[in-house]
Amino acid sequence: MFNKILIANRGEIAVRVIRACREMGIQTVAVHSQADNDAMHVKLADQAVCIGPPKANESYLSIANVVSAAAITGAEAIHPGYGFLSENSSFAEICERVKIKFIGPTPAAIEMMGNKASARQKMREAGVPIVPGTPGPVRDEREAMDAARKIGYPVIIKASAGGGGKGMRVAHSEDDLQNQLATARAEAEAAFGNSEVYIEKYLIEPRHIEMQILADEHGNVIHLGERDCSVQTARHQKMLEESPSPILANGTREALGKAAVKGARAVGYHNAGTMEFLLSKDGHFYFMEMNTRIQVEHPVTEMVTGIDLIKEQLRIASGEKLTIRQKDVQHNGHCIECRITAEDPQRNFAPASGTISRFDQPGGPGIRVDTYIRSDYTVPPFYDSLLAKILAHAPTRAEAIAKMQRALSETRLEGLATTLPFHQRILANEYFQRGEVSTDFLARRMNV
């Protein structure tokens, strides 16, 4: 096992990784921007290095600065968290070259799965069902038109290099496609420096179901079941996740697990990863993309399986074999996570920054809070708007909902706009309570 690792991230995920390290006797190095001098991850780590000004591309995204900080402090490995450099294959490759272990998959696997068009192709070859669509990127408008006609409207245009909902547009007709194609390309070029797009069938009222994967560097791959992430904003940002999915039939769950493991094997995947699928109304599932990193919603799986995913990541990266076999994975009870962000639902989820005048956390049996904020903390305007993840774990879904409602009612989070009141409305919604949630739930059932 490593003696010392560097965490190339901030916020709640940096805190989460530091906590796992502390419990395992691993020394930690935090890196931070000038805007984060007194951030929680800096306080909790054994050492901290300032790597630049507030803007992420001059600090948290600076490969040279992060790698130098690791070299100077003698860190043997880097945990990238999520976001920032976590899915940057050049970063993983540079770490490899300077003999610092990247806690994640190989650069080749990151690159293959990071491009959605090539990931689709690879998964299709591996026999994993993919959403019907073009085999690769479309060259021009004509090819897009022909493909859309064959697939049947509505279709969704997606950037090959896409992520975070950028470069994604739905088209309901040929005219629509013409307009949206140009917009999607421009958006993709601006966000990723790559205007390549492909076309997929746009599924009506699907559910977003993802499978958590763990794979060691010795060829052992297992899955830890699903998370249902169908509660999303119009821009496809996840707001609430749960496991198990309230509607998944046992047979489908098993088939999804097998497909996810097969897909991960096909790319020689190791470490933690997530295979994302869409589940159609008629019960078919289709691979959508793979996230080659730990995810925001990983604690949902930790609560129902009792497996610490961060510790597993560290064990895998240090070369250990998985000690958990597929048949050992047990799922207990139901877990719901609310992502409380500094966003104003009344202003189209515009990000808010400012000082938290009061933060009282919820507690009690079955409640977990992953956060980095405290009273009198000023949320910097430069980064992700996630403030806290509140999780409720109980024997049944109905009990988990009641527990979450109780927890949210105890929480005081004042000083800036947050999604807390909005999450309370979701939990009180009768369709949500019945588990009737597809990815358009907020638009259809809550008018947002």
Active-site residue set: 293
| CA–CA distance, 265 with 272 (Å, rounded to integer) | 13
Q: Which residue is nearest to ligand ADP (CB)?
A: 439
Answer whether 98's CB lies under 8 Å from 68's CB.
no
Minimal distance, residue 176 CB to ligand ADP, in Å: 15
Q: Which residue from 414, 316, 428 is spatially nearest to 373, judged by alpha carbons?
A: 414
Residues forming contacts to ligand ADP in the complex (CB under 6 A) are 131, 156, 162-165, 168, 200-203, 206, 208, 232, 236, 276, 278, 288-289, 439
* Residue 25: CB minimum distance to ligand ADP, A: 36
Classify each residue of 276-306 as buried b or exposed e, where b means 16 or more C-beta atoms within 10 Å of its C-beta.
Answer: bbbbbeeeebbbbbbbbbbbbbbbbbbbbbe
Shorter beta-carbon distance to ligand ADP: residue 135 or 363: 135
Cis peptide before 244 (omega within 30 of 0): yes
**CA 129, 82, 271: angle at the middle one, nearest 5?**
60
Residue (65 or 252) nearer to ligand ADP, CB: 252
> From the CB of 385, what's the least distance to ligand ADP, in Å?
16
Nearest-angstrom CA–CA distance, 169 and 176? 10
CB of 403 to ligand ADP, least distance (A): 26
d(CA 341, CA 240): 11
Smallest separation (angstroms) from ligand ADP to the CB of 137: 15
* Residue 314: CB minimum distance to ligand ADP, A: 26
- In the complex with ligand ADP, which residue's Cβ is closer, 176 or 399? 176
Minimum CB distance to ligand ADP smaller for 385 or for 411: 385
Q: Look-up: residue for tokens 């050992």?
A: 328
Alpha carbons within 13 angstroms on the beta-carbon side of residue 166 total 15
| CB 121 to ligand ADP: min, Å | 15
Q: How far apart are CA 272 and CA 309, in angstroms?
A: 7
Comparison of 122 and 201: residue with beta carbon closer to ligand ADP: 201
Q: What angle do CA 202, 208, 209 make, to 5 degrees?
A: 135
Q: Of the two residues 115 and 371, which places its CB atom closer to ligand ADP in the complex?
A: 115
Minimal CA–CA distance to 138: which of 123, 151, 154, 125?
Answer: 151
Residue 321 DSSP code: P
Q: Helices 420-428 and 397-410: crossing angle, nearest 10°?
A: 150
Q: Hunting for tokens 């050049």 — which residue is that?
A: 90
- All residues at 6 or more sequence positions from 65 whose CB lies less than 8 Å from its CB, including other chains: 31, 51, 52, 59
Instruction: Centre a 10 Å sphere on the Cβ of residue 64 and count the other Cβ atoms it contains.
Output: 10
CB-wise, 165 or 333, nearer to ligand ADP? 165
